[in-house]
Structure 1
Protein backbone atom coordinates (compact mmCIF):
# COMPACT_ATOMS: atom_id res chain seq x y z
CA UNK A 1 0.00 0.00 0.00
CA UNK A 2 2.84 2.41 0.77
CA UNK A 3 4.11 1.95 -2.78
CA UNK A 4 0.72 2.90 -4.19
CA UNK A 5 0.55 5.99 -1.98
CA UNK A 6 4.04 7.04 -3.11
CA UNK A 7 3.00 6.54 -6.73
CA UNK A 8 -0.07 8.76 -6.25
CA UNK A 9 2.02 11.48 -4.60
CA UNK A 10 4.58 11.25 -7.39
CA UNK A 11 1.83 11.72 -9.98
CA UNK A 12 0.72 14.91 -8.25
CA UNK A 13 4.09 16.42 -7.38
CA UNK A 14 5.47 15.99 -10.89
CA UNK A 15 2.86 18.50 -12.11
CA UNK A 16 2.71 22.26 -11.62
CA UNK A 17 -0.83 22.23 -10.28
CA UNK A 18 -0.02 21.50 -6.63
CA UNK A 19 2.33 24.42 -6.10
CA UNK A 20 0.12 26.77 -8.12
CA UNK A 21 -2.83 25.86 -5.90
CA UNK A 22 -0.65 26.24 -2.80
CA UNK A 23 0.51 29.68 -3.95
CA UNK A 24 -3.05 30.83 -4.70
CA UNK A 25 -4.20 29.52 -1.32
CA UNK A 26 -1.48 31.50 0.46
CA UNK A 27 -2.36 34.61 -1.56
CA UNK A 28 -5.99 34.24 -0.49
CA UNK A 29 -4.90 33.88 3.12
CA UNK A 30 -2.73 36.99 2.71
CA UNK A 31 -5.70 38.98 1.37
CA UNK A 32 -7.91 37.88 4.27
CA UNK A 33 -5.21 38.69 6.81
CA UNK A 34 -4.56 42.03 5.13
CA UNK A 35 -8.25 42.89 5.46
CA UNK A 36 -8.27 41.88 9.14
CA UNK A 37 -5.12 43.90 9.83
CA UNK A 38 -6.31 46.99 7.97
CA UNK A 39 -9.79 47.11 9.50
CA UNK A 40 -9.00 45.89 13.02
CA UNK A 41 -10.93 48.00 15.53
CA UNK A 42 -12.83 49.89 12.83
CA UNK A 43 -16.55 50.20 13.58
CA UNK A 44 -19.11 50.31 10.79
CA UNK A 45 -22.92 50.02 11.05
CA UNK A 46 -22.68 49.07 14.69
CA UNK A 47 -20.27 46.17 14.12
CA UNK A 48 -16.50 46.14 14.39
CA UNK A 49 -13.53 43.85 14.12
CA UNK A 50 -11.58 43.38 17.36
CA UNK A 51 -8.42 45.42 17.91
CA UNK A 52 -5.15 43.87 16.75
CA UNK A 53 -3.76 43.67 20.28
CA UNK A 54 -6.64 41.48 21.50
CA UNK A 55 -6.83 37.70 21.82
CA UNK A 56 -10.12 37.76 19.88
CA UNK A 57 -8.43 39.35 16.87
CA UNK A 58 -5.65 36.73 16.93
CA UNK A 59 -8.30 34.03 17.16
CA UNK A 60 -10.17 35.41 14.15
CA UNK A 61 -7.04 35.99 12.09
CA UNK A 62 -5.68 32.52 12.82
CA UNK A 63 -8.84 30.96 11.42
CA UNK A 64 -8.37 32.61 8.01
CA UNK A 65 -6.52 29.57 6.67
CA UNK A 66 -9.64 27.42 6.81
CA UNK A 67 -10.74 29.05 3.54
CA UNK A 68 -8.04 27.01 1.81
CA UNK A 69 -10.28 23.94 1.94
CA UNK A 70 -11.52 24.65 -1.60
CA UNK A 71 -8.00 24.28 -2.99
CA UNK A 72 -7.50 20.97 -1.21
CA UNK A 73 -10.85 19.83 -2.62
CA UNK A 74 -9.86 20.77 -6.16
CA UNK A 75 -6.59 18.86 -5.81
CA UNK A 76 -8.59 15.86 -4.64
CA UNK A 77 -10.79 16.12 -7.72
CA UNK A 78 -7.73 16.31 -9.97
CA UNK A 79 -6.11 13.27 -8.32
CA UNK A 80 -8.93 11.15 -9.76
CA UNK A 81 -10.23 12.95 -12.83
CA UNK A 82 -6.82 13.57 -14.41
CA UNK A 83 -6.45 9.80 -14.78
CA UNK A 84 -9.63 9.67 -16.83
CA UNK A 85 -8.83 12.84 -18.76
CA UNK A 86 -5.43 11.60 -19.92
CA UNK A 87 -6.47 7.93 -20.15
CA UNK A 88 -3.89 6.74 -17.62
CA UNK A 89 -6.53 5.08 -15.46
CA UNK A 90 -6.43 1.92 -17.59
CA UNK A 91 -2.73 1.45 -16.92
CA UNK A 92 -3.26 2.18 -13.23
CA UNK A 93 -5.92 -0.50 -12.88
CA UNK A 94 -3.94 -2.99 -14.97
CA UNK A 95 -0.96 -2.49 -12.64
CA UNK A 96 -3.23 -2.77 -9.59
CA UNK A 97 -6.35 -4.78 -10.55
CA UNK A 98 -7.91 -4.34 -7.11
CA UNK A 99 -9.44 -0.95 -7.70
CA UNK A 100 -10.34 -0.36 -4.09
CA UNK A 101 -6.63 -0.37 -3.21
CA UNK A 102 -6.02 2.34 -5.79
CA UNK A 103 -8.78 4.51 -4.32
CA UNK A 104 -7.54 3.95 -0.78
CA UNK A 105 -4.07 5.02 -1.92
CA UNK A 106 -5.55 8.16 -3.49
CA UNK A 107 -7.47 8.91 -0.29
CA UNK A 108 -4.33 8.57 1.83
CA UNK A 109 -2.40 10.74 -0.64
CA UNK A 110 -5.21 13.32 -0.48
CA UNK A 111 -5.06 13.38 3.31
CA UNK A 112 -1.29 13.90 3.22
CA UNK A 113 -1.51 16.70 0.65
CA UNK A 114 -4.29 18.39 2.63
CA UNK A 115 -2.15 18.15 5.77
CA UNK A 116 0.83 19.60 3.87
CA UNK A 117 -1.28 22.54 2.69
CA UNK A 118 -2.55 23.15 6.21
CA UNK A 119 0.99 23.18 7.62
CA UNK A 120 2.02 25.71 4.97
CA UNK A 121 -0.86 28.04 5.76
CA UNK A 122 -0.30 27.69 9.53
CA UNK A 123 3.36 28.67 9.14
CA UNK A 124 2.31 31.65 7.00
CA UNK A 125 -0.26 32.70 9.58
CA UNK A 126 2.26 32.44 12.40
CA UNK A 127 4.66 34.67 10.46
CA UNK A 128 1.87 37.25 10.02
CA UNK A 129 -0.42 37.12 13.04
CA UNK A 130 2.19 36.93 15.82
CA UNK A 131 4.10 40.06 14.67
CA UNK A 132 0.81 41.90 14.06
CA UNK A 133 -0.31 41.30 17.64
CA UNK A 134 3.03 42.02 19.34
CA UNK A 135 3.79 45.12 17.25
CA UNK A 136 0.36 46.48 18.22
CA UNK A 137 1.28 46.21 21.90
CA UNK A 138 -0.62 43.01 22.62
CA UNK A 139 0.54 39.71 24.06
CA UNK A 140 0.15 36.66 21.84
CA UNK A 141 -1.30 33.78 23.87
CA UNK A 142 -1.84 30.29 22.49
CA UNK A 143 -4.48 29.44 25.09
CA UNK A 144 -6.39 32.74 25.12
CA UNK A 145 -6.62 32.77 21.31
CA UNK A 146 -7.41 29.03 21.13
CA UNK A 147 -4.62 28.53 18.61
CA UNK A 148 -4.23 24.74 19.16
CA UNK A 149 -7.95 24.08 18.57
CA UNK A 150 -8.14 26.33 15.52
CA UNK A 151 -4.97 24.80 14.07
CA UNK A 152 -6.45 21.33 14.51
CA UNK A 153 -9.62 22.56 12.80
CA UNK A 154 -7.66 23.88 9.83
CA UNK A 155 -5.69 20.64 9.60
CA UNK A 156 -8.84 18.50 9.62
CA UNK A 157 -10.69 20.81 7.24
CA UNK A 158 -8.02 20.83 4.54
CA UNK A 159 -7.22 17.12 4.85
CA UNK A 160 -10.85 16.00 4.75
CA UNK A 161 -11.81 18.41 1.99
CA UNK A 162 -9.17 16.69 -0.13
CA UNK A 163 -11.01 13.44 0.57
CA UNK A 164 -14.30 15.11 -0.44
CA UNK A 165 -12.67 16.09 -3.72
CA UNK A 166 -11.52 12.54 -4.39
CA UNK A 167 -15.04 11.24 -3.78
CA UNK A 168 -16.51 13.90 -6.06
CA UNK A 169 -13.93 13.16 -8.77
CA UNK A 170 -14.65 9.44 -8.64
CA UNK A 171 -18.37 10.15 -8.90
CA UNK A 172 -18.35 12.53 -11.89
CA UNK A 173 -15.02 11.53 -13.59
CA UNK A 174 -15.06 14.67 -15.73
CA UNK A 175 -12.39 17.09 -14.52
CA UNK A 176 -14.11 20.34 -15.49
CA UNK A 177 -17.43 19.21 -14.04
CA UNK A 178 -15.72 18.07 -10.84
CA UNK A 179 -13.86 21.36 -10.33
CA UNK A 180 -16.97 23.45 -11.07
CA UNK A 181 -18.98 21.25 -8.73
CA UNK A 182 -16.43 21.76 -5.95
CA UNK A 183 -16.45 25.55 -6.41
CA UNK A 184 -20.26 25.75 -6.54
CA UNK A 185 -20.53 23.59 -3.41
CA UNK A 186 -17.97 25.58 -1.41
CA UNK A 187 -18.87 29.12 -2.48
CA UNK A 188 -22.57 28.91 -3.32
CA UNK A 189 -24.44 26.03 -1.70
CA UNK A 190 -22.71 26.03 1.67
CA UNK A 191 -22.73 29.83 1.90
CA UNK A 192 -26.48 29.85 1.25
CA UNK A 193 -27.16 27.35 4.02
CA UNK A 194 -24.72 28.99 6.44
CA UNK A 195 -25.49 32.63 5.63
CA UNK A 196 -29.32 32.55 5.62
CA UNK A 197 -30.61 32.34 9.21
CA UNK A 198 -33.65 30.24 8.23
CA UNK A 199 -31.37 27.59 6.70
CA UNK A 200 -28.65 27.55 9.35
CA UNK A 201 -30.25 24.63 11.19
CA UNK A 202 -29.39 22.55 8.11
CA UNK A 203 -26.18 24.36 7.21
CA UNK A 204 -24.51 23.54 10.51
CA UNK A 205 -24.62 19.84 9.53
CA UNK A 206 -22.89 20.40 6.18
CA UNK A 207 -19.08 20.05 5.90
CA UNK A 208 -18.60 23.83 5.96
CA UNK A 209 -20.80 24.19 9.03
CA UNK A 210 -18.99 21.34 10.77
CA UNK A 211 -15.66 23.01 10.00
CA UNK A 212 -16.93 26.31 11.44
CA UNK A 213 -18.06 24.46 14.57
CA UNK A 214 -14.60 23.00 14.98
CA UNK A 215 -13.05 26.46 14.64
CA UNK A 216 -15.78 28.00 16.87
CA UNK A 217 -15.28 31.56 15.65
CA UNK A 218 -18.24 33.69 16.75
CA UNK A 219 -17.35 36.98 15.03
CA UNK A 220 -20.38 38.86 13.69
CA UNK A 221 -18.95 41.53 11.37
CA UNK A 222 -22.09 41.96 9.26
CA UNK A 223 -24.42 42.27 12.24
CA UNK A 224 -26.59 39.36 11.06
CA UNK A 225 -26.20 37.35 14.24
CA UNK A 226 -23.93 34.41 15.05
CA UNK A 227 -25.14 30.99 13.85
CA UNK A 228 -25.63 28.31 16.49
CA UNK A 229 -22.87 25.91 15.50
CA UNK A 230 -22.53 22.37 16.75
CA UNK A 231 -20.15 21.80 19.66
CA UNK A 232 -16.53 21.57 18.55
CA UNK A 233 -16.34 17.82 19.22
CA UNK A 234 -19.56 17.24 17.26
CA UNK A 235 -18.23 19.30 14.36
CA UNK A 236 -15.12 17.12 14.31
CA UNK A 237 -17.21 13.92 14.26
CA UNK A 238 -19.47 15.27 11.48
CA UNK A 239 -16.45 16.27 9.41
CA UNK A 240 -14.86 12.84 9.85
CA UNK A 241 -18.19 11.23 8.99
CA UNK A 242 -18.36 13.16 5.73
CA UNK A 243 -14.79 12.11 4.96
CA UNK A 244 -15.69 8.44 5.46
CA UNK A 245 -18.87 8.87 3.40
CA UNK A 246 -17.04 10.43 0.47
CA UNK A 247 -14.35 7.75 0.72
CA UNK A 248 -17.04 5.07 0.51
CA UNK A 249 -18.61 6.84 -2.48
CA UNK A 250 -15.23 7.02 -4.20
CA UNK A 251 -14.54 3.32 -3.65
CA UNK A 252 -18.03 2.11 -4.59
CA UNK A 253 -18.33 4.14 -7.79
CA UNK A 254 -14.84 3.25 -9.02
CA UNK A 255 -15.14 -0.47 -8.32
CA UNK A 256 -18.52 -0.88 -9.99
CA UNK A 257 -18.21 1.31 -13.09
CA UNK A 258 -16.59 0.47 -16.38
CA UNK A 259 -13.66 2.70 -17.32
CA UNK A 260 -14.02 2.42 -21.11
Structure 2
Protein backbone atom coordinates (compact mmCIF):
# COMPACT_ATOMS: atom_id res chain seq x y z
CA UNK A 1 0.00 0.00 0.00
CA UNK A 2 2.82 2.41 0.84
CA UNK A 3 4.30 1.81 -2.59
CA UNK A 4 0.96 2.54 -4.27
CA UNK A 5 0.51 5.77 -2.33
CA UNK A 6 4.05 6.81 -3.19
CA UNK A 7 3.37 6.08 -6.86
CA UNK A 8 0.17 8.14 -6.81
CA UNK A 9 1.93 11.07 -5.15
CA UNK A 10 4.73 10.85 -7.68
CA UNK A 11 2.20 11.02 -10.51
CA UNK A 12 0.61 14.06 -8.92
CA UNK A 13 3.71 16.10 -8.22
CA UNK A 14 5.42 15.41 -11.54
CA UNK A 15 2.65 17.26 -13.38
CA UNK A 16 2.50 21.03 -13.81
CA UNK A 17 -1.25 20.95 -13.18
CA UNK A 18 -0.97 20.56 -9.43
CA UNK A 19 1.57 23.37 -9.14
CA UNK A 20 -0.63 25.65 -11.21
CA UNK A 21 -3.62 24.93 -8.97
CA UNK A 22 -1.51 25.53 -5.88
CA UNK A 23 -0.37 28.87 -7.29
CA UNK A 24 -3.99 29.88 -8.00
CA UNK A 25 -5.04 28.79 -4.52
CA UNK A 26 -2.30 30.86 -2.91
CA UNK A 27 -3.12 33.78 -5.18
CA UNK A 28 -6.73 33.82 -3.99
CA UNK A 29 -5.53 33.53 -0.41
CA UNK A 30 -3.12 36.43 -0.84
CA UNK A 31 -5.83 38.64 -2.32
CA UNK A 32 -8.13 37.91 0.62
CA UNK A 33 -5.36 38.59 3.13
CA UNK A 34 -4.41 41.91 1.52
CA UNK A 35 -8.01 43.12 1.23
CA UNK A 36 -8.81 42.26 4.87
CA UNK A 37 -5.49 43.64 6.05
CA UNK A 38 -6.24 46.99 4.39
CA UNK A 39 -9.91 47.33 5.33
CA UNK A 40 -9.90 45.70 8.78
CA UNK A 41 -11.56 47.93 11.37
CA UNK A 42 -13.72 49.71 8.78
CA UNK A 43 -17.43 49.39 8.05
CA UNK A 44 -18.07 47.31 11.13
CA UNK A 45 -15.28 44.78 10.60
CA UNK A 46 -13.18 44.02 13.70
CA UNK A 47 -9.66 45.50 13.80
CA UNK A 48 -6.67 43.20 13.49
CA UNK A 49 -5.60 44.12 17.00
CA UNK A 50 -8.57 42.17 18.40
CA UNK A 51 -8.90 38.36 18.47
CA UNK A 52 -11.99 38.44 16.23
CA UNK A 53 -10.13 40.49 13.66
CA UNK A 54 -7.17 38.12 13.69
CA UNK A 55 -9.53 35.15 13.34
CA UNK A 56 -11.24 36.74 10.34
CA UNK A 57 -7.88 37.49 8.74
CA UNK A 58 -6.52 33.98 9.17
CA UNK A 59 -9.75 32.49 7.84
CA UNK A 60 -8.51 33.62 4.44
CA UNK A 61 -6.13 30.67 4.55
CA UNK A 62 -9.06 28.66 3.21
CA UNK A 63 -9.85 31.01 0.32
CA UNK A 64 -8.50 28.50 -2.19
CA UNK A 65 -10.84 25.73 -1.07
CA UNK A 66 -12.34 25.35 -4.52
CA UNK A 67 -8.93 24.67 -6.04
CA UNK A 68 -8.42 21.69 -3.78
CA UNK A 69 -11.73 20.38 -5.12
CA UNK A 70 -10.68 21.00 -8.72
CA UNK A 71 -7.34 19.22 -8.32
CA UNK A 72 -9.12 16.18 -6.89
CA UNK A 73 -11.43 16.16 -9.91
CA UNK A 74 -8.59 16.55 -12.39
CA UNK A 75 -6.53 13.77 -10.84
CA UNK A 76 -9.17 11.12 -11.56
CA UNK A 77 -10.85 12.48 -14.70
CA UNK A 78 -7.45 12.98 -16.32
CA UNK A 79 -6.77 9.28 -15.88
CA UNK A 80 -10.02 8.39 -17.60
CA UNK A 81 -9.45 10.96 -20.32
CA UNK A 82 -6.00 9.65 -21.26
CA UNK A 83 -6.78 6.03 -20.31
CA UNK A 84 -3.87 5.81 -17.88
CA UNK A 85 -6.32 4.30 -15.40
CA UNK A 86 -6.28 1.14 -17.56
CA UNK A 87 -2.54 0.69 -17.11
CA UNK A 88 -2.88 1.35 -13.39
CA UNK A 89 -5.48 -1.38 -12.93
CA UNK A 90 -3.54 -3.80 -15.13
CA UNK A 91 -0.49 -3.30 -12.94
CA UNK A 92 -2.58 -3.61 -9.76
CA UNK A 93 -5.69 -5.74 -10.49
CA UNK A 94 -7.04 -5.30 -6.96
CA UNK A 95 -8.86 -2.03 -7.62
CA UNK A 96 -9.75 -1.37 -4.01
CA UNK A 97 -6.05 -0.97 -3.22
CA UNK A 98 -5.64 1.50 -6.05
CA UNK A 99 -8.69 3.48 -4.94
CA UNK A 100 -7.46 3.56 -1.34
CA UNK A 101 -4.07 4.81 -2.52
CA UNK A 102 -5.70 7.53 -4.63
CA UNK A 103 -7.87 8.65 -1.71
CA UNK A 104 -4.87 8.87 0.60
CA UNK A 105 -2.85 10.72 -2.02
CA UNK A 106 -5.71 13.14 -2.72
CA UNK A 107 -6.18 13.84 0.98
CA UNK A 108 -2.45 14.48 1.29
CA UNK A 109 -2.50 16.89 -1.66
CA UNK A 110 -5.46 18.78 -0.18
CA UNK A 111 -3.74 18.94 3.20
CA UNK A 112 -0.64 20.37 1.51
CA UNK A 113 -2.81 23.03 -0.15
CA UNK A 114 -4.29 23.88 3.25
CA UNK A 115 -0.90 23.96 4.94
CA UNK A 116 0.50 26.22 2.22
CA UNK A 117 -2.44 28.61 2.64
CA UNK A 118 -1.95 28.60 6.41
CA UNK A 119 1.77 29.39 6.10
CA UNK A 120 0.96 32.25 3.72
CA UNK A 121 -1.65 33.55 6.18
CA UNK A 122 0.95 33.62 8.94
CA UNK A 123 3.56 35.21 6.66
CA UNK A 124 1.16 38.04 5.82
CA UNK A 125 -1.02 38.15 8.92
CA UNK A 126 1.64 38.39 11.63
CA UNK A 127 3.37 41.47 10.14
CA UNK A 128 -0.04 43.05 9.41
CA UNK A 129 -1.07 42.68 13.05
CA UNK A 130 2.22 44.05 14.36
CA UNK A 131 2.14 47.01 11.96
CA UNK A 132 -1.35 47.88 13.20
CA UNK A 133 0.01 48.03 16.74
CA UNK A 134 -1.31 44.67 17.87
CA UNK A 135 0.54 41.87 19.61
CA UNK A 136 0.89 38.19 18.89
CA UNK A 137 -1.35 37.49 21.87
CA UNK A 138 -4.38 37.91 19.56
CA UNK A 139 -3.23 34.74 17.76
CA UNK A 140 -4.55 32.22 20.25
CA UNK A 141 -6.07 28.79 20.28
CA UNK A 142 -8.96 29.83 18.04
CA UNK A 143 -6.55 30.72 15.23
CA UNK A 144 -4.71 27.41 15.64
CA UNK A 145 -8.03 25.55 15.50
CA UNK A 146 -9.05 27.53 12.43
CA UNK A 147 -5.82 26.65 10.63
CA UNK A 148 -6.24 22.98 11.50
CA UNK A 149 -9.78 23.22 10.12
CA UNK A 150 -8.48 24.74 6.89
CA UNK A 151 -6.12 21.79 6.39
CA UNK A 152 -8.91 19.30 7.14
CA UNK A 153 -11.40 21.07 4.86
CA UNK A 154 -8.91 21.20 1.98
CA UNK A 155 -8.30 17.46 2.34
CA UNK A 156 -12.06 16.80 2.41
CA UNK A 157 -12.78 18.86 -0.69
CA UNK A 158 -10.01 17.11 -2.62
CA UNK A 159 -11.69 13.79 -1.80
CA UNK A 160 -15.02 15.32 -2.85
CA UNK A 161 -13.49 16.28 -6.20
CA UNK A 162 -12.16 12.75 -6.65
CA UNK A 163 -15.56 11.27 -5.83
CA UNK A 164 -17.43 13.52 -8.26
CA UNK A 165 -14.84 12.90 -10.97
CA UNK A 166 -15.14 9.15 -10.43
CA UNK A 167 -18.92 9.40 -10.69
CA UNK A 168 -19.11 11.58 -13.82
CA UNK A 169 -15.77 10.80 -15.51
CA UNK A 170 -16.30 13.84 -17.77
CA UNK A 171 -13.70 16.39 -16.75
CA UNK A 172 -15.52 19.55 -17.81
CA UNK A 173 -18.88 18.47 -16.39
CA UNK A 174 -17.36 17.50 -13.05
CA UNK A 175 -15.49 20.80 -12.72
CA UNK A 176 -18.48 22.95 -13.73
CA UNK A 177 -20.87 21.16 -11.37
CA UNK A 178 -18.38 21.14 -8.51
CA UNK A 179 -17.35 24.79 -8.83
CA UNK A 180 -21.00 25.81 -9.16
CA UNK A 181 -21.77 23.95 -5.97
CA UNK A 182 -18.80 25.28 -3.96
CA UNK A 183 -18.92 28.87 -5.16
CA UNK A 184 -22.64 29.43 -5.70
CA UNK A 185 -25.15 27.00 -4.24
CA UNK A 186 -23.36 25.98 -1.07
CA UNK A 187 -22.31 29.54 -0.25
CA UNK A 188 -25.88 30.77 -0.73
CA UNK A 189 -27.27 28.07 1.52
CA UNK A 190 -24.64 28.66 4.20
CA UNK A 191 -25.27 32.42 4.19
CA UNK A 192 -29.00 32.69 3.52
CA UNK A 193 -30.24 29.47 5.15
CA UNK A 194 -27.78 28.76 7.95
CA UNK A 195 -30.17 26.22 9.44
CA UNK A 196 -29.63 24.13 6.31
CA UNK A 197 -26.17 25.32 5.35
CA UNK A 198 -24.58 24.37 8.65
CA UNK A 199 -25.09 20.70 7.77
CA UNK A 200 -23.26 21.03 4.44
CA UNK A 201 -19.48 20.60 4.05
CA UNK A 202 -19.02 24.38 3.83
CA UNK A 203 -21.03 24.96 7.00
CA UNK A 204 -19.10 22.22 8.79
CA UNK A 205 -15.84 23.86 7.72
CA UNK A 206 -17.04 27.22 9.07
CA UNK A 207 -17.88 25.52 12.36
CA UNK A 208 -14.38 24.08 12.61
CA UNK A 209 -12.93 27.49 11.74
CA UNK A 210 -14.84 28.93 14.70
CA UNK A 211 -16.39 31.73 12.65
CA UNK A 212 -19.85 33.18 13.28
CA UNK A 213 -22.62 33.12 10.69
CA UNK A 214 -22.98 36.44 8.79
CA UNK A 215 -26.78 36.10 9.00
CA UNK A 216 -26.84 35.64 12.75
CA UNK A 217 -27.49 31.90 12.75
CA UNK A 218 -25.48 29.40 14.71
CA UNK A 219 -23.04 26.95 13.21
CA UNK A 220 -22.44 23.58 14.81
CA UNK A 221 -19.95 23.34 17.68
CA UNK A 222 -16.37 22.89 16.50
CA UNK A 223 -16.24 19.21 17.51
CA UNK A 224 -19.54 18.52 15.70
CA UNK A 225 -18.30 20.31 12.59
CA UNK A 226 -15.14 18.18 12.65
CA UNK A 227 -17.21 15.00 13.03
CA UNK A 228 -19.46 16.08 10.16
CA UNK A 229 -16.45 16.77 7.95
CA UNK A 230 -15.10 13.31 8.74
CA UNK A 231 -18.49 11.80 7.92
CA UNK A 232 -18.56 13.56 4.56
CA UNK A 233 -15.02 12.38 3.85
CA UNK A 234 -16.04 8.77 4.51
CA UNK A 235 -19.17 9.18 2.36
CA UNK A 236 -17.21 10.66 -0.53
CA UNK A 237 -14.58 7.95 -0.20
CA UNK A 238 -17.30 5.29 -0.40
CA UNK A 239 -18.76 6.92 -3.53
CA UNK A 240 -15.35 7.08 -5.17
CA UNK A 241 -14.67 3.45 -4.30
CA UNK A 242 -18.02 2.16 -5.55
CA UNK A 243 -17.94 4.05 -8.85
CA UNK A 244 -14.34 3.11 -9.61
CA UNK A 245 -14.29 -0.53 -8.54
CA UNK A 246 -17.53 -1.69 -10.19
CA UNK A 247 -17.43 0.13 -13.51
CA UNK A 248 -15.87 -0.93 -16.78
CA UNK A 249 -12.79 1.22 -17.33
CA UNK A 250 -12.73 1.00 -21.11
Structure 1-normalised TM-score? 0.92
Whether the 8 Å contact between 1:167 and 1:246 is mirrored in structure 2 is: yes
Give the structure with the larger helix fraction: 2
Partner Cα separation in structure 1 for residue 226 and residue 218 of structure 2: 16
Unaligned runs of 5+ in 1: none
Whether the 8 Å contact between 1:55 and 1:145 is mirrored in structure 2 is: no
Residue 208 of structure 1 corresponds to: 202
Residue 81 of structure 1 corresponds to: 77
C-alpha spacing 1:142/1:95, structure 2 compared with 1 (3 Å): farther
The alpha carbon displacement at 1:143 in A equals 5.6
In the comparison of the two structures, how many residue pairs are matched? 250
Give matches, 1:218-229, under 5 Å: 218=212, 220=214, 225-229=215-219
Residue 30 of structure 2 corresponds to: 30
Which portions of structure 1, spanning 4 or more consecutive aligned residues, are displaced by more than 3 angstroms?
142-145
Residue 9 of structure 2 corresponds to: 9
Residue 19 of structure 1 corresponds to: 19
- 1:21-59 C-alpha deviation (Å, 9 max, x unpaired): 11111110111111111111112xxxx111122221111
Partner Cα separation in structure 1 for residue 100 and residue 138 of structure 2: 36
Structure 2-normalised TM-score? 0.96
Whether the 8 Å contact between 1:142 and 1:148 is mirrored in structure 2 is: no
The alpha carbon displacement at 1:145 in A equals 6.3
Give matches, 1:45-84, under 5 Å: 48-84=44-80
1:217 aligns with 2:207: no
Whether the 8 Å contact between 2:167 and 2:239 is mirrored in structure 1 is: yes
Unaligned runs of 5+ in 2: none
Among 83, 86, 103, the alignment partner of 2:99 is 103
Among 221, 232, 236, the alignment partner of 1:231 is 221
Whether the 8 Å contact between 1:153 and 1:215 is mirrored in structure 2 is: yes
1:255 aligns with 2:249: no
Partner Cα separation in structure 1 for residue 220 and residue 141 of structure 2: 20
Partner Cα separation in structure 1 for residue 177 and residue 226 of structure 2: 24
Partner Cα separation in structure 1 for residue 230 and residue 175 of structure 2: 22
Whether the 8 Å contact between 1:207 and 1:238 is mirrored in structure 2 is: yes
How large is the RMSD of aligned CA atoms in angstroms? Answer: 1.3
Among 231, 236, 239, the alignment partner of 1:246 is 236
Whether the 8 Å contact between 1:56 and 1:145 is mirrored in structure 2 is: no
Residue 126 of structure 2 corresponds to: 130
Partner Cα separation in structure 1 for residue 141 and residue 38 of structure 2: 20
Partner Cα separation in structure 2 for residue 257 and residue 107 of structure 1: 17
Partner Cα separation in structure 2 for residue 136 and residue 203 of structure 1: 34
